[in-house]
Amino acid sequence: MQTQIGLDLDKAAQLLIEGELVAIPTETVYGLAANALSAEAVSKIYQVKNRPQFNPLILHVANLFELKKYVLNLPKKVELLIQKFSPGPLTVLLPKSELVSDLVTAGSSNVAIRIPNHPLTLDLLNRLDFPLAAPSANISGTVSPTSAEHVFEQLNDKIPYILDGGETSIGIESTIVGYDDRSEEITIHRLGGLSIEEMEACIHEKIRVDIHHDQPTTPGQLKSHYATQTPLLVGNIDELIKDKNSKEIVIINYHQLKEYEVKKQFVLSNHNSSAEAAQNLFKIMREADKCQAQYILCEWAPEEGLGLAINDRLERASYTM
């Protein structure tokens, strides 16, 4: 099956109704979508992505009214965040209603759910009478796709259709938050496209980051993820480059381009902006990977705004056993 790329919403909707997979644009990364209420359709996601069965999927819905159908109840504080940041890069993790199958949540009683902020996908969701289960549209463990072309590179022949919504605006996955009934606290389980500072300003309290590296609350948060084929080393470029053959090196600078005699150099942000760096991160990682270098050397981002989420991705992408 040759994969087609286009803007045909009728076609995308029809395929999804028939239980097929369609790659969809969101503001974060492209998703690989299926009818979340069909076990057969959802199981295709696991096959195509080569995704371990223990790793649950995020549900995508068009609005708050729809979201409420798939959770048992919506705590006030979580609703406040949704009102402020949805549609947008916010995923909430809450006890699921009986409409959500165990296949989507990988047996967990909690469901992760969000309202994506992309006009095409919101239009698509409004045409369907079911939510979409959608992980990032990449093969498990590799870099997430931020354009239709990225999806095509990995999934050509494996899915019938890619809905082309251009390059994604945020560029890294959504921030996943949970809620503890007893302490009434919001906790971050995955750093992502919505910064901690923005959320704290909304609910007027400190938010804890709870990312267990050995037993993550979100099973997909593996130590090794977003891996490039070329080994990626993160840190001080001058230190990292010392014992290497610079002709075989690719450098990813955060914002300031210091010239080195290397194979190729990239800059994540020309304006020292973590939002711009996040938007460029996965695209530049892919381009750097295509240079056939011995190593990719990359600088850490400043630990503020989306810099924390960028560093989280870099840490996993550079993880070696």
Binding stretches for ligand TXA (CB under 6 A)? 26, 28-29, 31, 55-58, 91, 93, 105, 108, 110-112, 116, 134-136, 173-174, 176, 190, 217-221
Nearer to ligand TXA, 190 or 263 (CB): 190
How buried is residue 79: exposed, middle or buried, by Cβ count under 10 Å (0-12/13-18/19+)? Answer: middle
* Continuous segment of H or E residues that includes residue 42: helix 39-49
Site track 81-120 with Mg ion (rule: CB under 5 A), x = hit: ----------------------------------------
Distance between start and end Cα atoms, the chain: 37
Residue 283 backbone dihedrals phi, psi, to 5 degrees: -65, -45
Partner whose footprint covers residue 35, from Mg ion, ligand TXA, none (CB < 5 to 8 Å by kind): none
- The CB-of-204 to ligand TXA minimum distance in angstroms stands at 25
Compute CA 22 distance to the chain's CA centroid, rounded to the nearest angstrom: 17
* CB 192 within 8 Å of CB 89: yes
Partner whose footprint covers residue 29, from Mg ion, ligand TXA, none (CB < 5 to 8 Å by kind): ligand TXA
- The CB-of-225 to Mg ion minimum distance in angstroms stands at 7
- The CB-of-196 to ligand TXA minimum distance in angstroms stands at 16
Residue ranges in 70-107 assigned as alpha helix (H): 76-85, 102-105
Nearer to ligand TXA, 66 or 173 (CB): 173
Q: Which residues contact 102 (CB under 8 A, 6 or more apart)?
A: none
Helix axes 274-289, 148-155, angle to 10 degrees: 30
- The CB-of-217 to ligand TXA minimum distance in angstroms stands at 6
- Token duo for residue 216: 């993550």
Cα–Cα distance measured from residue 246 to residue 146, given in angstroms and rounded to the nearest whole number = 29
Site track 135-154 with Mg ion (rule: CB under 5 A), x = hit: -x------------------
Return the closest-CA partner of residue 178 out of 204, 141, 216: 216
Nearer to ligand TXA, 31 or 165 (CB): 31
Nearer to Mg ion, 263 or 316 (CB): 316
Partner whose footprint covers residue 56, from Mg ion, ligand TXA, none (CB < 5 to 8 Å by kind): ligand TXA
Question: Residue numbers of the site for Mg ion (CB under 5 A)?
Answer: 136
